[in-house]
Structure formats: C-alpha cells, structure tokens
Amino acid sequence: MKPFTWEGPEGMAAREPKAGEAAASERRHLGGGVSRQVDRAQQYGSDLIVDLLRAFEVEYAALNPGATFRGLHDSIVNYGGNAFPQIIQCCHEEIAVAVAHGYGKAKGRPMAAIVHDLVGLLHATMAVYIAWLDRAPALVLGATGPMATEQRRPWIDWIHTALVQGQAVRDYVKWDDQPASPQGIVESFIRAHRIAMTEPRGPVYVCFDAALQEQRLAEAVPVPDIGRFAPPSPIQGDPRALEVAARWLVESAHPVVLADYVGRSRAAVRALVELAEMLALPVVDLGSRFNFPNTHPLDLTGAEDDLLPQADLVLALDVFDLQKALGTVDRTTRLARPLIGQGTKIIHVSLNELAVRAWAQDYGRLQPVDLAITADTAVAIPALASLCRSPAHGDGEVDCTSRRRERRAALEETSRRMRDRWRSAAERVRGARPVSWPRLAEDLWAVVKDEDWVLVNRTLRGWTRQLWDWTDPSQYVGALMGGGVGYGVGHAMGAALAYRGTGKLCIDLQPDGDLLYTPSALWTAAHHRIPLLIVMFNNRSYFNDEDHQVLMAKARGRPVENAHIGLRIDDPPVDFAGLARSFGIHAEGPIGDPAELRPALERAVRHVKTEQHPALVDVVTQSR
Ligand SMILES: Cc1ncc(C[n+]2csc(CCOP(=O)(O)OP(=O)(O)O)c2C)c(N)n1
Ligand SMILES: [Mg+2]
C-alpha cells in the first residue's frame, strides 16, 4: 500500500527546473578541474548523510568550509558527485543560512546550510533567528569535534566544541539534535526534515559528530522509504468555531480582513479572493507573504487607518503581530494606540500558539480576541468560504445582497481614490535628484512589467505594490520578518536559486546599509551564476536610524544638525558598482540622475536574462 502523503502548500516556483538543469548550466560556466569519478558505495558515516540529503532531493547545501565537517564535505563532492546536494560556496555562515531561508520560502521545501562547529554556528545565529521568525523551512546542519574526547585534536577541537552546540540556537529552531550512531543519523535527519516542513515551518539544527562522519561503516546503512515519514496533514480549525466565524462574517456590516502569512499557500489566496468577493470584504495585505492581488478592487491595503475605526468585525488571518496590525504607533513616544473601537469583534485564525517559546518575545503584546482558531489558513479559509456559501448562511432576515453591493461600491471608490493619490504623489517627485523611490519603482516597472518577475527582497517601502500590478503569489516571496540588517542579499540569492531555470526574473531591491554587512554574498552570486537583478536604493545612510536621531533631537530640543553623526555612509561614498565588479558582477552606477536610470535598468535586465548571471545597478536615491 502506498503511504498517503498530503501535498502541502504549493511552492511558488513557476516551473520546476528539469533534473540537473541548474547544475548543468552552472557546470558549463565553471569549466573543468573536477574529477568525474564518483564513489557510489556508501562507506562512511558522512556518505550516509549524503544518501539522506539525496533521498529528500535537497538540491543545494550552502556552506563556508570547516574541518569539523570535512567528512561530509568530501562525501558531498566525491560520493554524491556534488549534485543533490550541490555546494553553494559562501563567504560567511550568516549568508549561507540566509540563502537557505530564501530558497525554502520560494521553493516550499528546504535546502541545507552547513555550518562549521561552534564558530560557524555562532556566525549563523541571526540568520537562524530570522528564518524562525519567518516560519521558513531550513536544514541547518552542523558539526562538532568528537564527543569521544580521546579522538579530539588538542586545542582546536576543544575550543570549538560545546556541550551541546544546539543550545546556541535551541530557542529559535523548531528542533535540534546530535545523533550518536549511524542509525541515529537516519532517524535524526528524517525527523528534522519532517519537523521543518510541518506548519508552522521553521529551521532545524542537526549537529554531526566529526568522528561519526569519518567513521568507516561495517556495512551500508539503508535509507528507509521516506514517503512514510511525510509531514502530517495540515491543522483544520474546530468545525464549531469555523461555523461561528462564518456567521459573524455574514452578519457583519463593516468587516475588515487582515491577511499576513496566508500566501504560504496559493490555494488559501484563491479561497480568500473568493471569500472577499462573496461577502464584499475589504482585504488589507500585511505583507509577510503575497496575500491578495493588488489589482483586485477589494484590495484595500493602505486604507486600514480609515477602515479599522469603522469595523464591527476584524477577520485576522495568520497575523504575526495583532497589536501592530490593529493599531498605530507614535514614533516619538513609542506608544501604540488601537485603531479599532471598543466593540469591534476580532476573529484570529493562525498557528501562532504553536510557535510560542519563552525566550524570544516574538509573540507580541497580549491581545484580546473574541474567537481564536488554531488552524492552518491553507485549509481554514477554503472551509470558511464553503461555510459562507452554504444556505445555512444565506441572507436570512437582513438584506445582505444589497448591503454587500453598496459596501463593495463604496470600497471600490475608496480603493480608486487611494490609487489616484499614490500616482499623484509619485508624479510630484518624478524629477527629483537624486532619484525618488516612486520614480525608481516606476522606471523599474516600465522595464520589467512584461517579464515573469518576482520580488525576492523588499518592496521599496510599498511603492512597488502601490504602483505595479501584483497579480499572483509567485511575484513576491514576502517580507524579511526579522528586521535584522545584513540579510537581504543572501535571502534574495536563495530565492533566486529556487527559481533558477524557471525563466523568472528575480529582483532584489537592495538598500546600501544592508548590503555593507554581507557584500561578499556578491561573490557567491557571481561564482554560482545566480541570475539576480540587484537594484540598489542607495541613500548613503543608515537612514532608518538617522530618522530616529532627528526625532530624538527634536523631542529633546537638541541640534538636528548632529543627527547624521554615526549614520551617514557618504564620506567616502561607497562605490557599489566597483565593489560588485570586483566580485565579477556586471554593474552600473552610481546613478543619481533620473534620466539615466531606465537605460541602465534595461541593460542590467538584458544581462541577467542573456547571461543568466547577476547584475547590479547602484541608484542613489532620496533618503526615503
Ligand atoms: C543587525 C542589525 N543591526 C542594526 C540594526 C538597526 N537598524 C535598523 S534599520 C538600520 C539602517 C539600515 O540601513 P539601510 O539598509 O541602508 O536602510 P535605510 O534605513 O537607509 O533605508 C539599522 C542600522 C538592525 N535592525 N539590525
Ligand atoms: Mg540606507
């Protein structure tokens, strides 16, 4: 009997590359120097790890090398033939994990990041934390000096070994383990994969003892049929609770939908569109994923300040931080104020309760909710839509049909007016020098709108959503949830790896300060021929914080002229195009004259498409 496997939310890749397509294209460009001889007989503990990676079709392993996994490194290359997984050589462990994070999000299944013992793991920690916050699957594989102390090399194997290493990330991975035998490796790996892929998804860490990796196996250890260890089917909400939610939705006069992580599943987005159309619901996309097409007249993203105070019901779908979603914050006092009224009912459908840990306070402020439903929105939204469609929730005594028609007309009008405002605001700054953010969004749109594009890092503070047509979940991999700077380019490269060979044009909207943390990622992009269009919005500042210093100065009556100290990146200005070229990447800039922008973007897009290689355009922009 074949084991039942639930297919899970669809990955967002437009087309799976054919077997070996991406690797073959890379080999063509990397040239010779690689022995074709591959040893296919499993002999060592680390060969077994490669068999497991291959069984799960793990395409890539991002790594920075280290002696504690020299066994595994050798096995990937000489036993696995550097395919499934293929090594993605990174210059920093934070980049390696960011790549795995971006890939897992875009592909819907994990790749591996291999991090050297304690020092590599400690470098990787912020990236692991961000993957955790973003609920993205990632296999973080680590290594340790031998636990059998007599097998340790003096000094280095002691200073780089901790008891137990997983503790460094335990509070922000879904699971960690350190198997102690070949059979233990099998069980640990399979369990880790399943846990990473079970919603809410996340990174896992498995640490392999160096001696166990290098141990000669008396006989080959078989990998079981992994089909029988698939993740469980998704969690559906309590039917009675869904019934109540459907009734409240149907009866509400002023409902508002807030959608945050819904876009993990294409089916959920489809069902949300259906639900919104059926009941004339305004949808606000909070942006952790692509949740709702902006071309839909019921997309009211940006109108929440007007809608929430009127709302009698809020349907929150997979919202990361409810307090933030339901209110507004005063930047000077840091105090949050709710936008909803006292009597607004709140329904929250999410998996948040399953991701609570005591260490990170990522669960946010305690928020009263009238109906909390633990469920995966991938199955709960379709269920809600079908309940609302059923005759039991028909019009009843209230004339819902005409009320909804009126509501929809009013919402469409609000949406039209909001879009007109955005276009006029963009028009007003079109000629600004250096380039304004809306101008950058407009010129880039003109260049990519006929491409099969996907935004793999940022949105230009929403301008691309406000001025472009976002029609499909595969056009945006979602926000970087961690707010940790230094992360964008690695994450973007991971997503671009997931899409390599699919014909999609991957676009990284890249701030300057962020890139300066991890510029060596550009070398990896060039070396592995990752087709990625990097468009910088370079304001020559850590401007987010400059803004805070201005605010402090004003609040305290201190000189605003000092607010740039420790924050500007303009003396000297960084030559990002020169930096990128030094890593072997086609690059242009700095471009501050808006008239030069579009031709440079056109050349860069052509380069990415024809050469299947990264390109960077350094655009000097307004601060914000
Ligand atoms: C690892 C880390 N260090 C510091 C910060 C504080 N921080 C938040 S935004 C920001 C500025 C980032 O500059 P840039 O990427 O150029 O974006 P800009 O604000 O200029 O648009 C900093 C330093 C952070 N969030 N994460
Ligand atoms: Mg900046």
Q: Could you tell which of 485, 518, 545, 565 is best to mutate to test the pocket of ligand 1, judged by most ligand atoms within 8 Å of the CB? A: 485
State in Å: Cα 386 to ligand 2 middle.
46
Residue in the structure block whose two tokens are 């000489």: 78
536 lines ligand 1 (CB under 6 A): no
513 lines ligand 1 (CB under 6 A): yes
511 lines ligand 1 (CB under 6 A): yes
Report the run of H or E that residue 20 belongs to, with start and end: none
Atom of ligand 1 at shortest range from CA of 484: 26
pLDDT number for residue 14: 39
* Bond before 34 cis per omega within 30 degrees: no
542 lines ligand 1 (CB under 6 A): yes
592 lines ligand 1 (CB under 6 A): no
Residue 400 or 430, more confident: 430
Name the closest-CA residue to atom 6, ligand 1. 485
State in Å: Cα 522 to ligand 1 middle.
19
249, 283 Cβ separation under 8 angstroms: no
33 three-state secondary structure:
coil
Mean pLDDT, residues 446-474 taken together: 98
Residue 30 pLDDT grade (very low, low, confident, very high; cuts 50, 70, 90): very low
Angle at 156 between CA 150 and CA 161, to 5 degrees: 70
Q: Which range has highest mean pLDDT (18-22, 181-185, 334-338)?
A: 181-185
Mean pLDDT, residues 269-294 taken together: 98
pLDDT exceeds 60 at position 547: yes
pLDDT number for residue 17: 47
Atom of ligand 1 at shortest range from CA of 517: 1
What is the arrangement of strands in the sheet containing 505-511, beginning at the earlier edge strand?
Answer: 453-457, 505-511, 533-538, 615-620, 586-591
Report the mean per-residue pLDDT for the chain: 93
25-34, 87-96, 551-560: range with lowest mean pLDDT:
25-34
pLDDT number for residue 1: 52
Mean pLDDT, residues 44-69 taken together: 98
Task: Name which of 118, 115, 144 is nearest 214 in CA terms.
Answer: 144
Ligand that comes closest to the CA of residue 510: 1
Exposed/middle/buried for residue 439 (C-beta within 10 Å: 0-12, 13-18, 19+): buried
pLDDT number for residue 499: 98
Rg (CA), the chain: 25
Cα 13 versus chain centre, distance? 14
Name the closest-CA residue to atom 5, ligand 1. 485
Q: Which two tokens stand for residue 41?
A: 């007989």
Distance separating alpha carbons of residues 237 and 425, to the nearest angstrom: 43
Distance separating alpha carbons of residues 291 and 473, to the nearest angstrom: 7
Atom of ligand 1 at shortest range from CA of 546: 19
Task: Name which of 225, 210, 224, 223 is nearest 45 in CA terms.
Answer: 210
* Bond before 590 cis per omega within 30 degrees: yes
pLDDT in tens, 573-587: 999 999 999 999 999
State in Å: Cα 516 to ligand 2 middle.
10
Distance separating alpha carbons of residues 74 and 78, to the nearest angstrom: 6
Atom of ligand 1 at shortest range from CA of 569: 16
pLDDT in tens, 72-98: 999 999 999 999 999 999 999 999 999
566 lines ligand 1 (CB under 6 A): no
Q: Which two tokens stand for residue 1?
A: 């009997």
Residue 7 pLDDT grade (very low, low, confident, very high; cuts 50, 70, 90): very low
DSSP letters spanning 51-115: HHHHHTT--EEEE---GGGHHHHHIIIIISTT-SSEEEE-SSHHHHHHHHHHHHHHHSS--EEEE
Exposed/middle/buried for residue 473 (C-beta within 10 Å: 0-12, 13-18, 19+): buried
Mean pLDDT, residues 486-509 taken together: 97
Residue 15 pLDDT grade (very low, low, confident, very high; cuts 50, 70, 90): very low
**How many percent of the chain have pLDDT more than 90?**
90
* Number of DSSP helices (H) and strands (E) in the chain, helices first: 22, 18
pLDDT number for residue 331: 87
Task: Name which of 124, 127, 208, 140 is nearest 174 in CA terms.
Answer: 140
541 lines ligand 1 (CB under 6 A): yes
Dihedral sign computed on CA atoms, order 126, 490, 575, 509: negative
pLDDT in tens, 102-116: 999 999 999 999 999
**Whole-model pTM over 0.85:** yes
Distance separating alpha carbons of residues 384 and 245, to the nearest angstrom: 8
Cβ-based neighbours of 409, under 8 Å, separated by 6 or more: none
pLDDT exceeds 70 at position 28: no
Name the closest-CA residue to atom 21, ligand 1. 543
State in Å: Cα 542 to ligand 1 middle.
6
State in Å: Cα 545 to ligand 1 middle.
7
pLDDT exceeds 80 at position 435: yes
Atom of ligand 1 at shortest range from CA of 486: 1
State in Å: Cα 599 to ligand 2 middle.
23
Residue 392 pLDDT grade (very low, low, confident, very high; cuts 50, 70, 90): confident
Cβ-based neighbours of 49, under 8 Å, separated by 6 or more: 72, 75, 141, 185, 189, 208, 213
State in Å: Cα 418 to ligand 2 middle.
28
Backbone angles phi, psi at 313, to 5 degrees: -145, 135
622 lines ligand 1 (CB under 6 A): no
Mean pLDDT, residues 601-608 taken together: 98
Name the closest-CA residue to atom 16, ligand 1. 513
Q: How far is CA 338 from CA 286, 329, 348, 472, in A?
A: 16, 9, 16, 31
